[in-house]
Structure formats: C-alpha cells, structure tokens
Amino acid sequence: MKFTTKLDTDLTVQSFAYMANKLARSPGVQYEQILSVAENHRSALRLIQRDVIDLVQAELAKQNVAVSDYQRIRKTIARKIDQAQQAITRIAAQYAPYALAA
C-alpha cells in the first residue's frame, strides 16, 4: 500500500505557515488567534493520522496487509504527524509576542 501522507502533512504545515504569516501582518491580531489556528491545523493532522490508521486497519481485516506492515505504517504515520506538529509549534513560536519584540 502506498500512502501520500507526506504530501498531506506538508500541505498542512505550509497552510499554517501561510495563515500565521497573514495573521501576524494583520493589525490588531492577538497571538492567541495564531495559537488557535495552530491548534486547528494540529487537529487536521490528527484526522489524517486517524484516517490512515483506519484505512490500514480495514485492509488488515481484509488480509490485504500483513500485521508487520500494519505496525510499520502506524509507527511511520505517528512519526510523520509528530514531526509536522513540531513544525507547527516552531512556526507559531516565531510569532510569539516576545519573539516579535526582539
């Protein structure tokens, strides 16, 4: 089975970077709004993870995927989602009030 989760996670991180930059340039925007958008994008990443795991579980039930492949895919998607969430956190930190003041 081939999955395009890298594309999905990359697009989600890029989307957040764009939105955070746009919000930071808007007058009167609070840092909490950027954090809210970050949480929305993290939620989208969790949905991607859930969808992939559900798909692989369905294939496992049909015996189209070996148990070892299922476990490998679960670990891989968990790692990719974690990396994407960390990237969102790093981007959000760039717009923290103390970072902007420096």
In a domain, 2, yes or no: no
- What are the tens digits of pLDDT across the range 20-76? 999 999 988 899 999 999 999 999 999 999 999 999 999 999 999 999 999 999 999
* Residue 10 and residue 83 in contact, taking contact as beta carbons nearer than 8 Å: no
Domain assignment of residue 102, yes or no: no
Is residue 4 a part of any domain in this protein? no
Structural domain tally of the chain? 1
The DSSP code sequence of 24-93 is HHSTT--HHHHHHHHHHHHHHHHHHHHHHHHHHHHHHHTTSS-HHHHHHHHHHHHHHHHHHHHHHHHHHH
pLDDT confidence of residue 3: 59
pLDDT of res. 37: 97
| Structural domain that includes position 36 | 12-93
CB 77 within 8 A of CB 49: yes
In a domain, 21, yes or no: yes
Prediction pTM value? 0.86
